């Protein structure tokens, strides 16, 4: 009994020391992560292009296997951010943690422009997932070499690529009954997102087989200028595939008309039924 008691006492005495060591280790790793080592640069920083991806909440839920998982927060009325993804790079540095406090100053704007649309995932967990999988790779670029800087850049890009305004100005409005020629959608977006062949205007099929606008992928170079040519990384999509039966969509057929469903907060998985 005495020996057991002494053992517990020793552990209790060491615990604060171990805690301090652990905290210092995390701090050191976080600080060192601001500057990639030569080995890390060679392994993870060879990517040249990014895809800035925006999604339309009105049709996002159509691709879910379990439609009951979908939710659209009542304040969401516009296109939202899906992610900023370096090509051919994925989960580059798991040693770089992210905490909600890192994004405190951006929280209101992120909640409006980059919300989670899944009941099973809070918005912060969505952001955390994006940082670990994609932000840690984008951190090779000095302007994105911290969680705060990465998400600040994403918000600036969202303001730069105002798809809502571009479609509205072209007379393309959400509707359950009216569809639009693909050429009209493409022409409306080209002044904003460019006409680079790597731009992807994506659709998803609803239960009636209609082509429904769901997502736009915008190619960017490392300095965030429009246009970049690098073969797509097939593993770069951020969602677990088991969530979807058709998402993240496919290029909208150029010889087809495209529907632009309205956002339905009450029935997000059946916006037009």
How many Å apart are CA 197 and CA 20, to the nearest integer?
A: 53
Among residues 90, 134, 237, 269, the one annotated as catalytic is: 134
How many Å apart are CA 183 and CA 179, to the nearest integer?
A: 12
With vertex at residue 115, the alpha carbon angle to CA 168 and CA 80, rounded to the nearest 5 degrees, is 25
Yes or no: say if 180 and 257 are a contact pair by the CB < 8 Å rule: yes
b/e 42-74 (16+ beta carbons within 10 angstroms → b): eebbebebbbbbbbbbbbbbbbbeeeeebbbee
Among residues 82, 211, 237, 269, the one annotated as catalytic is: 82
Among residues 32, 35, 90, 130, the one annotated as catalytic is: 130
Q: Does residue 130 have an active-site annotation?
A: yes
Which residues have a catalytic role annotated?
Answer: 82, 130, 134
């Amino acid at each position: 009994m005495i020996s057991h008691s002494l053992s517990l006492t020793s552990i209790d005495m060491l615990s604060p020391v171990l805690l301090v060591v652990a905290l210092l280790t995390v701090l050191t790793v976080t600080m060192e992560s601001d500057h990639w080592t030569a080995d890390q640069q060679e392994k993870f920083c060879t990517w040249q292009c990014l895809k800035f991806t925006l999604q339309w909440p009105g049709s996002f839920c159509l691709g879910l296997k379990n439609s009951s998982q979908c939710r659209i927060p009542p304040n969401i009325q516009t296109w939202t951010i899906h992610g900023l993804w370096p090509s051919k790079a994925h989960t580059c540095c798991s040693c770089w943690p992210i905490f909600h406090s890192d994004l405190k100053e951006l929280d209101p704007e992120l909640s409006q422009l980059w919300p989670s649309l899944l009941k099973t995932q809070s918005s912060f967990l969505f952001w955390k997932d994006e940082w670990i999988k994609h932000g840690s790779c984008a951190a090779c670029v000095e302007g994105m070499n911290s969680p705060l800087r990465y998400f600040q850049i994403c918000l600036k890009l969202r303001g730069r690529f105002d798809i809502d305004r571009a479609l509205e100005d072209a007379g393309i409005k959400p509707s359950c009954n009216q569809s639009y020629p693909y050429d009209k959608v493409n022409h409306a977006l080209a002044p904003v997102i460019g006409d680079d062949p790597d731009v992807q205007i994506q659709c998803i099929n609803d239960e009636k087989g209609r082509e429904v606008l769901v997502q736009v992928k915008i190619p960017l170079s490392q300095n965030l200028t429009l246009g970049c040519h690098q073969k797509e990384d097939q593993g770069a999509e951020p969602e677990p595939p088991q969530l979807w039966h058709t998402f993240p969509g496919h290029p909208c057929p150029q010889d087809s008309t495209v529907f632009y469903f309205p956002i339905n907060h009450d029935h997000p998985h059946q916006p037009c039924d």
